[in-house]
Copies of this chain bind each other. A is one copy, B any other.
Amino acid sequence: MTRFFVDISMSLDGFVAGPDAKLEEPLGKGGERLHDWVLRLASWRSTHGLDGGETGPDDDLVRATRERVGAEIMGRRMFSGGEGPWEDDPNADGWWGDNPPFHVPVFVLTHHDREPVVKEGGTTFTFVTDGIESALEDARAAAGESDVLLGGGASVVQQYLRAGQLDELNIHVAPILLGGGVSLFGELGTDAPGLKLRKVVESPFVTHVSYEVVKA
């Protein structure tokens, strides 16, 4: 059975974006610091069409994650930062230009119908309007023998956690306090699933913690 997992950077105070996210500052105030650890890595640079970069445990981990992913799911806000009808979204093409860094089929959860978009480098964006379970079915079918990555954002992560459909949480804890913003887990209440620690990988720049989600 292939696996469905989250892979996301979070501040020590639990935020995946800082306060006041907007089109010009999609990760909110200070939020770009969540990703300082990854931007230096050879694996990250190569998926973005860049040479060079650092190797080591952080890089090995990012590379291994990329290699297991056959499809990705993300929320509309992560895709464009917008909401509502696509024709009114100033960032309707997404953040990533002609050759996005995903290189796999991406399924975008939205309430607004739209034809699929085919980009260079193997990335396609398919817009799913009939719910998270349908998106997961589509992504699993597209991924074949590979795993499905849930890229974010927080709202979508919480929806899949409540629905009991995630197998694994991989959190990159950045050594920062954002002071506010978008909380990854929010308040799941009694829907919060059990966890089991899988693995910890550390570097001076970030702490990677991986958990198995315990199915009820």
Contact = CB atoms under 8 A, between A and B. Distances in A.
Interface residues of A, number: 37
A197 interface: yes
Nearest to A14: B14
Nearest to A177: B192
B178 A192 contact: yes
Nearest to A13: B185
Interface in A176-209: 176-180, 183-197, 200, 202, 204-207, 209
Contact of A188 (B180, B196, B205, B211): B180
A156 interface: no
Contacts of A178: 192
The interface residues of chain A, by DSSP majority, are classed as loop
Nearest to A173: B209
A101 interface: no
Contact of A14 (B13, B179, B194): B13
Given A13-B185, A14-B13, A171-B12, A200 B207 contact: yes
A194 B12 CA distance: 11
Interface in A150-177: 161, 169, 171, 173, 175-177
A195 to B, nearest CB: 5
Given A173-B209, A207-B209, A209-B173, A188 B179 contact: yes
A187 B173 CA distance: 17
Interface of A: 12-14, 19, 161, 169, 171, 173, 175-180, 183-197, 200, 202, 204-207, 209, 211
Shortest Cβ-Cβ A-B pairs, 4 listed? A179-B192, A13-B185, A177-B192, A14-B14
